[in-house]
Homo-oligomer: A and B are copies of this chain.
Amino acid sequence: MLNDRKKKILQLIIEDYISTAEPVGSRTIARKYDLGLSPATIRNEMSDLELLGYLEQPHTSAGRVPSAQAYRLYVDSLIEPGALSDNERALINGWFNERRRSLDEIFQSTAKILSRMTQNVSMVLANRDAGARFRYMKFLPLDEHHAILCIITDDGNVDNCVVEIPLGMRPEELDYLAGKVSRLLEGRELSEIDEELLQIIHSNIAEDKLLFTSLVQSLRRLRNKHMEQKVFLGGTKQLLNQPEFRDVERVRNLLGILEEERVVRDLLKSGEDSGLKVTIGSENKFSGIQDCSMVQATYRLNGKIVGTMAVLGPTRMEYGKVISVMDYLHKYLKTMFEHENNK
């Protein structure tokens, strides 16, 4: 185990490196932070820390750089959480209030804020269904062959799509049909509308084959749309602010990976079970981002996963700041969703 002094020195090295992105030398530590120790002493400690695997030297005459192991220790026990400043909080509130009309926009804002505050790429995976329940459906006539199917959920969301209807079907017939299906589905979560249930509807109301087929198709589509997990990215531009990404080639690699929605989705899903998860460097099993770190938080509402947000950046990341921001966003979103649900 490390004694207190070693821990303190390691912490200072990590924090210095995080803010300067330059290898840290013994003189720097002695000069910048008042430890009452000479560079030589610090040098000895650093030498020990290197042997223990916490520090690495890019080359003999450079300073030292924290290893993944050091960051791990830092995140697990050295970090001082530290709340956001009033200023930062005001900034976040301002950004959120800019636009927050729909759920999607809230998630988009979250991604944007996360990346702006942390100067890194952010990702938000939104589980859209979030336990919404079917309330009722209704047809709005459009023309002779088409009507709009509206589905209302208990959170006040409406979804619609155009369905084909048999020529000459009267509005009353449509209303009757809508009522019948509505009674079957009322109160169910959208995720419950599975193939089996659709089959039951089918056999229950086989009065009009054509309409029925298109109705079921539409229901299925709407259900899928609701179930669909959507990925929001933020701050891909911020990447360029990090000295680690001076090299265009590296930027391109990472952006290439982020472009694959499927990959991002898997990446985010991999950490869904734990509330807060920090993955450092090669701890991450996804290829292409093994020289990056990721901080990830999962949100639940009444036990259900609402979404996952993450910040991806170089291992040299302001872990403390990232975690504070996420924490604040978490609380913010929580009240927002709860309010939404009680409406």
Chain A residues within CB distance 8 Å of chain B = 135, 138, 140, 142, 146, 148, 150, 152, 156, 158, 160, 162, 236-237, 240-241, 245-246, 248, 251-252, 255-256, 259, 343
Q: How far is the CB of A226 from chain B (nearest CB, A)?
A: 14
Contacts A148-B156, A237-B252, A240-B252 given; 20 further ones with Cβ under 8 A?
A135-B142, A138-B140, A140-B152, A142-B152, A142-B156, A146-B156, A150-B150, A150-B158, A158-B158, A158-B160, A162-B343, A236-B236, A237-B256, A237-B259, A240-B251, A240-B255, A241-B252, A245-B248, A246-B248, A248-B251
* The residue from B140, B236, B241 contacting A150, defined by CB atoms under 8 A apart: B140
Q: How far is the CA of A259 from the CA of B237 in the complex (A)?
A: 9
5 of the cross-chain contacts (CB-CB < 8 Å) are A140-B152, A146-B156, A148-B152, A150-B150, A236-B237
Contact B252 A146 (CB under 8 A): no
In the complex, chain B residues whose CB is within 8 Å of the CB of A343: 146, 162
Residue of B nearest to A148 (CB): B158
Q: How far is the CA of A135 from the CA of B237 in the complex (A)?
A: 43
Q: How far is the CB of A80 from chain B (nearest CB, A)?
A: 32
In the complex, chain B residues whose CB is within 8 Å of the CB of A152: 140, 142, 148
In the complex, chain B residues whose CB is within 8 Å of the CB of A237: 236, 252, 255-256, 259
Contact A240 B248 (CB under 8 A): yes
In the complex, chain B residues whose CB is within 8 Å of the CB of A160: 150, 158, 160
Q: How far is the CA of A153 from the CA of B135 in the complex (A)?
A: 24
For the complex of A and B, 6 pairs with smallest distance between CB atoms: A237-B255, A158-B160, A240-B252, A148-B158, A156-B162, A240-B248
Q: How far is the CA of A16 from the CA of B146 in the complex (A)?
A: 55
